[in-house]
Amino acid sequence: MTTIVAGHLVTMDPERPVAEAMAVVAGRIAAVGSLAEVRAAYPEAAVERPDAGAVLPGLIDAHLHLARAALKFEHDAGGAEPDVPGFLEIMARDWHGEEWDVPRSPAERADALRRVQPLLHGLGITGVVDPAVTEPELRGYQESWRRGELTVRVTAMPYPGLGTPRAPTVEDAIGRLSGLGLHTGFGDDVLRIGGVKVYFDGEGLKSEALLDAPWPSTGSPGRQLLADEDFAEFARFCIEYGWSMGVHAVGGGAVAKVVDLLARAAGERSLRDGRFQIIHGYLDVAPATIARAAELGLVASAQPSITWFNGARLAEELGARTDTINPLRSWLDAGARVALGSDGPFFPFDPWQLMWTAVTRRVDRRDDPLGPTEAITVAEALAGYTRSAADAAFAGADRGVLRAGRLADWIAVDRDPTALPADDLRSVRVLRTEVGGRTVFRES
């Protein structure tokens, strides 16, 4: 069946940023253009006009722990069926000492995923990169996939636990990873294997991110979780065996080391196609490090939510060093690929609130914007949640823009975000969400 979706299409396609209509055939976009053009190409098709301010590509959160959000939601919501605001409220609650995180069968995990996905669609999310997936979580995703219930497209990043009791040595981590018998890119449009998750340094708010200069409160530069040689050895294995990597590196010291070690592990080989990610990379990262990461083709996977949540407290300790917190302007100006996400549900993950944070540099518990020189535009923020997030999710050829040949993942919103005052961005409402031409959310 062919449908024509007509309205104000903000395509996120640089070649045709705005259009009047698109034809959807068998879950994919078959044509984009003026209404007259698309009608002429598909004269038999029914024309649908979503009553909306704009139609956009579905949003992709490049860093959302969906499998864990599903279990937490099930634990906390019990039998209730909250709406989207209720969902956000539940996710923002205390994590109760992780009592939600108990062993579950693949079927139980798939059941939990079924309940939580419509709520993400209510925020406009049609895809996620789940950035640290254990073997049981991967089995839960597969069960959901097998049932045909995965309506959020998932790129799952296996987490072998290098440097933790699960895999204390590089040999252990390689063993776990090899045992999967997979590598990055395997899967389909619904469930795909992403890069391997590795943690290189500690967290910002615990003063454990590895910086170039010491944290004033501890006198220490932070914590490095893996020895240089171990990281390098693991990186060489990954590059050799077709695994991409997503490396948690928060502080500038950690990012500089990871960039250098990856470059050395790659040698003559390019890392660009592998979409190796620097995850977080938000605290006191030197311009030279950013330039080198961009040159290597690394992806900066950034979360404005962390700035929103941690910014004020970090500024109290680090002062002017937080002016470049979450340096989105610098990453983009250096030519890096920037994918936006939330680190939800551990951090707020309403994409409209996050894009607003990236554009306004406003943070919680502080009156002034934090480091306004690192602000980006609304169009850049949207690209971070669509085109660039799709690229980081190994789906750049299939998603992220409304263009002929792409999957018909789209959302209708009440106002055109690109035509709003920046401050109104966080109040944009999603009216309808489609994945592969199928309606998965409709505002009631």
β-strands 299-302, 277-283: how paired?
Answer: parallel
Half-sphere CA count of 185, side-chain side, radius 13 A: 10
Which span sits near Zn ion by CB under 5 A: 90-98, 193-201, 219-227, 336-344? 336-344
CA distances from 356 to 371, 422, 427 (A): 14, 7, 9
- Phi first, then psi, for residue 332 (nearest 5°) are -65, -45
CB of 431 to Zn ion, least distance (A): 29
Q: Which is nearer to Zn ion, 38 or 69 (CB)?
A: 69
Regarding 343 and contact with Zn ion (CB under 5 A), the answer is yes
Regarding 203 and contact with Zn ion (CB under 5 A), the answer is no
CB of 131 to Zn ion, least distance (A): 5
Buried b (16+ CB within 10 A) or exposed e, 173-193: bbebbeeeeebbbebebbbbb
Which span sits near Zn ion by CB under 5 A: 20-28, 343-351, 401-409, 412-420? 343-351
Which span sits near Zn ion by CB under 5 A: 6-14, 88-96, 235-243, 339-347? 339-347
Which span sits near Zn ion by CB under 5 A: 231-239, 280-288, 342-350, 361-369? 342-350
Q: Which is nearer to Zn ion, 143 or 343 (CB)?
A: 343
CB of 65 to Zn ion, least distance (A): 6
Q: Which is nearer to Zn ion, 13 or 343 (CB)?
A: 343
Q: Which is nearer to Zn ion, 67 or 435 (CB)?
A: 67
CB of 298 to Zn ion, least distance (A): 18
CB of 343 to Zn ion, least distance (A): 4
Structure tokens at 140: 């839960």
d(CA 241, CA 138): 20
Residue number closest to Zn ion, CB atom: 343
With the CA atoms of 334, 336, 339 and 343 taken in that order, what torsion angle do they form, in degrees rounded to the nearest 10? -80
CB of 210 to Zn ion, least distance (A): 17
Q: Which is nearer to Zn ion, 304 or 417 (CB)?
A: 304
Q: Which is nearer to Zn ion, 124 or 131 (CB)?
A: 131
Q: Which is nearer to Zn ion, 343 or 350 (CB)?
A: 343
Strand partners, 61: 128
CB of 26 to Zn ion, least distance (A): 35
Regarding 61 and contact with Zn ion (CB under 5 A), the answer is no
Structure tokens at 389: 């997030």
CB of 279 to Zn ion, least distance (A): 7
d(CA 433, CA 121): 6
Q: Is cis: bond before 82, omega within 30 of 0? A: no
Find out whether 400 and 57 touch, Cβ atoms under 8 Å: yes
Which span sits near Zn ion by CB under 5 A: 74-82, 99-107, 338-346, 413-421? 338-346
β-strands 46-48, 54-57: how paired?
Answer: unpaired
CB of 204 to Zn ion, least distance (A): 12
Site for Zn ion, residues 98 to 157, rule: CB under 5 A: none
Place of tokens 């009440």: 414
Count the site residues for Zn ion by CB under 5 A: 1
Q: Which is nearer to Zn ion, 282 or 441 (CB)?
A: 282
Max CA distance (Å), the chain: 71
Count the Cβ atoms, other than its own, within 10 Å of residue 431: 18
Q: Which is nearer to Zn ion, 87 or 347 (CB)?
A: 347
d(CA 267, CA 264): 5
Find out whether 272 and 296 touch, Cβ atoms under 8 Å: yes
418 exposure class (CB count in 10 Å sphere: 0-12, 13-18, 19+):
middle
Half-sphere CA count of 243, side-chain side, radius 13 A: 28
Q: Which is nearer to Zn ion, 76 or 343 (CB)?
A: 343
Which span sits near Zn ion by CB under 5 A: 35-43, 311-319, 337-345, 415-423? 337-345
Half-sphere CA count of 263, side-chain side, radius 13 A: 14
CB of 344 to Zn ion, least distance (A): 9
Note the residues at the interface with Zn ion (CB under 5 A).
Answer: 343
